[in-house]
Amino acid sequence: MKLGFFLKRKVALIGFLFIGLLLAVALAAPLMARIPPQDLNPANKLSPPGGAHLFGTDNFGRDVFSRVVYGARTSLTGGSGVVLFSTVLGVLIGAVAGYFRRTEAWLMRLVDVMMAFPPLLLALVLVSILGRGMLNVIVAVGVTYLTRTVRVAYALTLKIREEPYIEAAVASGVRQFAIVTRHVIPNMLSPIIVQATFTFAFSLLDLAALDFLGLGIPPAVPSWGNMLSEGRMYLTRAPWLLIFPGAFIVMTVLSFNLAGDVLRDRLDPQLQRNIEGV
Amino acid sequence: MFAYIVRRLLSMIPSLLLASVIVFSFIHMIPGDPAQMMLGDMATPEQVQELREAMGLDRPVYAQYFIWLSGILKGDFGTSVFFQQPVWSVILDRAETSLFLAAMSLVLIVGIGVPVGVLSAVRYNSKLDQAASALSMFFASIPTFWLGLNFMMLFSVTLKWFPTSGFPSVLASGDWTNLRYLVLPAVTLSAPNSALIVRLTRSSMLDVSHADYVKTARAKGLSEGAVNVKHVFRNALIAVVSALGFTFVALVAGTVVTETVFSLPGVGRLVVESLLRRDYPTIQGVILVVAFLYMIINLLVDLSFAFLDPRIRYS
Amino acid sequence: MSFPSEKGKIWPVDGVNLRILPGETLGLVGESGSGKSMTSLALMGLLPQPHGKIAAGSIKFKGRELVGLENDELTAIRGKNISMIFQDPMTSLNPVYTVGDQIAEAVRAHERITKAQARKRAVDMLAKVGIPSPEKRADAYPHLLSGGMRQRVMIAMALVLRPELLIADEPTTALDVTIQAQILYLMEDLKRDFGMSVLLVTHNMGLVAENADKIAVMYAGRILEEAPTRELFGAPSHPYTRGLLDSIPRMRGADKELKAIPGMVPTLQDLPPGCKFANRCSFRQTRCEIEEPPIFETWRGHSVRCWLFYEGLFYDGRRSR
What does the pLDDT read at residue B42?
A: 77
Domain shared by C60 and C169, yes or no: yes
Residues C86, B230: C-beta atoms closer than 8 Å: no
CATH number of A12-269: 1.10.3720.10, 2.30.30.100, 1.20.1440.230, 3.10.300.10? 1.10.3720.10
With a cut of 90, say whether residue C291 has pLDDT above it: no
Q: Are A96 and A158 in contact (CB under 8 A)?
A: no
| Mutate which: A6, A120, A240, vs B, most B CBs within 10 A | A120
CA atoms within 13 A on the CB side of A51: 6
What does the pLDDT read at residue B156?
A: 84
Of residues B5 and B40, which shows the higher confidence score? B5
Minimum mean pLDDT range among A155-169, B169-183, B261-275 = B169-183
- Which among C212, C228, C248 is the end of a domain? C212
Q: Are C36 and C28 in contact (CB under 8 A)?
A: yes
Chain C residues with CB under 8 Å of B211 CB are: 91
With a cut of 50, say whether residue C172 has pLDDT above it: yes
With a cut of 50, say whether residue A271 has pLDDT above it: no
Contact with chain B for residue A227, Cβ under 8 A? no
Q: Which tens digits make up the pLDDT trace of B102-134?
A: 999 999 999 999 999 999 999 888 889 989 988
Measured CB to CB, residues of chain C less than 8 Å from chain B are 44, 46, 50, 71-72, 75-80, 83-84, 86, 88, 91-96, 105-106, 109-110, 141, 143, 154, 157-158
With a cut of 80, say whether residue C227 has pLDDT above it: yes
Give the nearest chain A residue to C5 (CA atoms).
Answer: A2
| Portion 101-120 of A in contact with B at CB < 8 A | 109-110, 112-120
Domain shared by C131 and C208, yes or no: yes
Contact with chain C for residue A3, Cβ under 8 A? no
With a cut of 50, say whether residue C317 has pLDDT above it: no
Q: Are C151 and C170 in contact (CB under 8 A)?
A: no
Instruction: Examine residue C63 and state whether it is found in any structural domain, yes or no.
Output: yes
Residues B222, C105: C-beta atoms closer than 8 Å: yes
What does the pLDDT read at residue A275?
A: 38
Contact with chain C for residue A2, Cβ under 8 A? yes
Model pTM score: 0.82
Chain B residues with CB under 8 Å of A246 CB are: 143, 146, 149-150
Residues B310, C96: C-beta atoms closer than 8 Å: yes
Residues B275, A239: C-beta atoms closer than 8 Å: no
Q: Which chains touch A (3 or more CB pairs under 8 A)?
A: B, C
Residues C92, B220: C-beta atoms closer than 8 Å: no
Domain shared by C135 and C186, yes or no: yes
Instruction: Examine residue C199 and state whether it is found in any structural domain, yes or no.
Output: yes
B55/chain C closest Cα distance in angstroms: 57
Domain shared by C206 and C231, yes or no: no
Q: How far apart are CA C160 and CA C81, in angstroms?
A: 11
Average pLDDT value over all residues in chain B: 88
- Which among C212, C234, C266 is the end of a domain? C212
With a cut of 90, say whether residue C108 has pLDDT above it: yes
With a cut of 50, say whether residue B224 has pLDDT above it: yes
B116/chain C closest Cα distance in angstroms: 20
Instruction: Examine residue C267 and state whether it is found in any structural domain, yes or no.
Output: yes
pLDDT band at A92 (very low <50, low <70, confident <90, very high): very high
Enumerate residues 6+ apart whose C-beta is below 8 A from A102. Answer: none
Give the nearest chain B residue to C76 (CA atoms).
Answer: B221
From the list B218, B221, B310, the residue facing C76 with the nearest CB is B221
pLDDT band at A277 (very low <50, low <70, confident <90, very high): very low
What total number of domains does chain C contain? Answer: 2
Query: Rounded to a whole number, what is the distance in angstroms from the first to the last CA of chain A?
Result: 22
A:B CB pairs within 8 Å: 148
Contact with chain B for residue A205, Cβ under 8 A? yes
Contact with chain B for residue A236, Cβ under 8 A? yes
What does the pLDDT read at residue C319?
A: 44
A102/chain B closest Cα distance in angstroms: 19
Average pLDDT value over all residues in chain C: 84
Which residue in A198, A195, A190 sits closest to A257, CA to CA? A198
Domain membership of residue C98 as a residue range: 25-212
Of residues C57 and C1, which shows the higher confidence score? C57
Domain shared by C175 and C75, yes or no: yes
CA dihedral C138, C169, C62, C212 (to 10 degrees): -110
Domain shared by C208 and C294, yes or no: no
Instruction: Examine residue C94 and state whether it is found in any structural domain, yes or no.
Output: yes
What mean pLDDT do residues B233-255 have?
86
Instruction: Examine residue C15 and state whether it is found in any structural domain, yes or no.
Output: no
Instruction: Examine residue C9 and state whether it is found in any structural domain, yes or no.
Output: no
Return the number of other C-beta atoms located less than 10 Å from residue C234's C-beta. Answer: 11
Catalogue all structural domains in chain B, each as residue range(s) with its CATH number. Answer: 96-267 (1.10.3720.10)
Domain shared by C142 and C114, yes or no: yes
Q: Are A183 and A121 in contact (CB under 8 A)?
A: no
Q: How far apart are CA B263 and CA B269, in angstroms?
A: 8
What mean pLDDT do residues A177-192 have?
89
Give the nearest chain A residue to B294 (CA atoms).
Answer: A116
Q: Which tens digits make up the pLDDT trace of B140-155?
A: 999 999 999 999 888 8
Query: For residues B128-156, b (16+ Cβ closer than 10 Å) or e, as one string?
Result: ebbebbeebbbbbbbbbbbbbbbbbbebb
What does the pLDDT read at residue A2?
A: 47
Query: For residues B15-27, b (16+ Cβ closer than 10 Å) or e, as one string?
Result: bbebbbebbbebb
Q: Which chains touch B (3 or more CB pairs under 8 A)?
A: A, C
Instruction: Examine residue C133 and state whether it is found in any structural domain, yes or no.
Output: yes
Domain shared by C152 and C63, yes or no: yes
Q: What is the ipTM for the molecules in this complex?
A: 0.85
Which residue in B29, B287, B256 sits closest to A130, CA to CA? B29
Contact with chain C for residue A171, Cβ under 8 A? no
Residues B216, C92: C-beta atoms closer than 8 Å: yes
Minimum mean pLDDT range among A87-91, C62-66, C141-145, C150-154 = C62-66
Q: Which chains touch C (3 or more CB pairs under 8 A)?
A: A, B
What mean pLDDT do residues C278-307 have?
84
What does the pLDDT read at residue A94?
A: 92
Q: Give domain limits for chain A.
A: 12-269
What mean pLDDT do residues B87-107 have?
92
Domain shared by C275 and C205, yes or no: no
Residues B221, C110: C-beta atoms closer than 8 Å: yes
Q: Are B178 and B169 in contact (CB under 8 A)?
A: yes
- Which among C212, C235, C263 is the end of a domain? C212
What does the pLDDT read at residue B139?
A: 93
pLDDT band at C94 (very low <50, low <70, confident <90, very high): very high
Give the nearest chain A residue to B154 (CA atoms).
Answer: A236
What mean pLDDT do residues B28-38 have?
78
Residues B219, C110: C-beta atoms closer than 8 Å: no
Domain shared by C232 and C199, yes or no: no
Measured CB to CB, residues of chain B less than 8 Å from chain C are 124-125, 211-213, 215-224, 226, 230-231, 234-235, 308-311
Domain shared by C234 and C156, yes or no: no
From the list C50, C141, C157, the residue facing B220 with the nearest CB is C157
Q: Which tens digits make up the pLDDT trace of A222-253?
A: 899 899 988 888 888 888 888 999 999 999 99
Return the number of other C-beta atoms located less than 10 Å from residue C254's C-beta. Answer: 8
Contact with chain B for residue A131, Cβ under 8 A? yes
What does the pLDDT read at residue B158?
A: 84
Give the nearest chain C residue to A2 (CA atoms).
Answer: C4
Burial of B274 (0-12, 13-18, 19+ CB in 10 A): buried
Q: How far apart are CA A8 and CA A67, in angstroms?
A: 32
C50/chain A closest Cα distance in angstroms: 8
From the list B219, B308, B311, the residue facing C84 with the nearest CB is B219
From the list A11, A113, A246, the residue facing B15 with the nearest CB is A113
What mean pLDDT do residues A91-120 have?
86
What does the pLDDT read at residue C180?
A: 86
Residues C91, B124: C-beta atoms closer than 8 Å: no
Q: Which tens digits make up the pLDDT trace of A16-46?
A: 999 999 999 888 878 877 778 777 777 777 7
With a cut of 50, say whether residue B304 has pLDDT above it: yes
Instruction: Examine residue C4 and state whether it is found in any structural domain, yes or no.
Output: no
Residue C168, domain CATH: 3.40.50.300
